[in-house]
Structure 1
């Protein structure tokens, strides 16, 4: 190869390296904590976001409420450095009112219905009617529900609506931190209910259906920028990306109703 060609090639290589270094210098680490209901959708979309933006997502998980150390309110209370939270809308609104999130940064991402499941291969109860759901609870030896929004609804309202609150005492338990589907898959409960999007990724269970509409609860999942974030613009860009109509299909595939379909 001629000397000037070698020189041009070297210059081109140096230019490419310089561009790569510049891109790396401008890449941002965005720290995100998501609750379980939106976790699979977030996981599926994190790669495309990183590819499109050049930014890097540092992701962790925790419930929207409760007293476990990973719960999002507990993380913020002890001052963890987080840029974005994705969680149940009502719990997010409470944190916004407390001044822990950037005003005006809330973005609605999806709605999630509650579904119920049994261990894979077990007989599937018919829960399409309220009476069928009632019988499914009563015939189960052990019932599991979560310590987040769906579980709070089941414990505080659904069992009362079904008229079986007393009958289920000692047989129905709220599970802290662990997905309900995993409890069922491991044989620690033979029936349980949680957000459909949280049950779908779990191996070893069969989803038997959604709660009947008369007693269904749709839970909103939203995201917001944490107050004091070091990268507020990158954090907002992530939330815009997650809520984009172009990504509605990916969100719907996880069992959620995407924000684009809510308007």
Structure 2
């Protein structure tokens, strides 16, 4: 019997790696599908069945409240901060502090972010800075399921923001670093068993594995931090 799951794109790479490890160690196949977080949430709320769901904690809150996941099965999987990137070989603006990031945004011909939690946060940050209207025509929002780094590599975005886990491994970009601490935001990703799970015992076993210290190295390698 296989374990089926759905996740947002932010955790795709780490879940693929950990699913392979779990299968090698326990002989149970895990089939994870990674899509845009908004699309994943909609599919679950529309009644699609999955053994496990891995999404940002606020989305899991919503699914638990509506009975679409088993609230008692929730585990913290990883957290991820927002990184900044430009096209490979392009000039590297300073992102040393909040003022430098603001200036880099104002100077950029185009600014990219996602439809996920980091994009929501950046929208609010630009509003707080009082520059949202000034840069509105230069904003490029990546379609659900498309990495901001891909748009940067294509030259469609000059300065891009997304969680580090989605920037790592994208060819054609230079990751400048993380947002400075004073404006950094961390998104916590959680896993839970779907209310309509076909393999509940296996789902619980995989969630326990994802929550274990044995997975910490893979999480760090893929730009995330363990939640514990």
The verdict on a shared fold, with TM-score over 0.5 as the criterion, is yes
* C-alpha contact (below 8 Å) 1:114/1:195 kept by paired residues: yes
Distance in 2, matches of 1:85 and 1:228, equals: 11
Q: Choose between structure 1 and 2 for higher RCO, CA contacts under 8 A separated by at least 6 residues.
A: 2
Show the counterpart of 2:190. 222
RMSD: 1.2
- How do residues 134-213 of structure 1 correspond to structure 2 at under 5 angstroms? 134-155=102-123, 157-177=124-144, 178-213=146-181
Distance in 2, matches of 1:87 and 1:210, equals: 21
* C-alpha contact (below 8 Å) 1:128/1:209 kept by paired residues: no
Distance in 1, matches of 2:64 and 2:140, equals: 30
TM-score (ref. length: structure 2) = 0.96
Deviates most, 143-152 or 74-83: 74-83
Distance in 2, matches of 1:239 and 1:162, equals: 40
* C-alpha contact (below 8 Å) 2:111/2:138 kept by paired residues: yes
Show the counterpart of 1:125. 93
Greater Rg over alpha carbons, structure: 1
* C-alpha contact (below 8 Å) 2:148/2:160 kept by paired residues: yes
Show the counterpart of 2:32. 59
Q: Is 1:233 matched with 2:213?
A: no
Show the counterpart of 2:6. 33
Distance in 2, matches of 1:167 and 1:173, equals: 14
- What secondary structure sits across from 2:133 in the alignment? coil
Distance in 1, matches of 2:27 and 2:195, equals: 23
- What secondary structure sits across from 1:118 in the alignment? strand
Distance apart, 1:191 and its partner CA = 0.8
Q: Which runs of 5+ in 1 are unaligned?
A: 1-27, 66-70
* C-alpha contact (below 8 Å) 1:106/1:224 kept by paired residues: yes
Q: Which runs of 4+ in 1 moved over 4 A?
A: none
